[in-house]
Amino acid sequence: MDINTLRAFATPLAFIAFIAIGVWTFSKSRKKGFDEAANLPFADDDFDNQSKDSQAEDHK
């Protein structure tokens, strides 16, 4: 088995993996999880604002 045979097997396997990742990414069952992950940076802003408000009240 030479390198060209290995390449002949690796190319379709890589293509199948690429298609599988694409199907997994755009499947409807994953949408909720991806939407939640997309909003994570904004969740930190809410937490930071609440902690700043509580610190401001402590200093009064």
Question: In which domain, by residue range, is 38 found?
Answer: 3-57
pLDDT the model gives residue 51: 62
> pLDDT at position 50, please?
63
Query: What is the model's pLDDT at position 41?
Result: 87
Confidence (pLDDT) at 56: 62
What averages of pLDDT result for each successive group of 10 residues across the chain (60 residues)? 94 98 91 90 70 61
Alpha carbon distance 51, 60 (integer Å): 15
Count up the domains in the chain and report the number. Answer: 1
pLDDT score at 58 = 61
Rounded to two decimals, the pTM is: 0.54
* Residue 15 tokens, joined: 């293509």
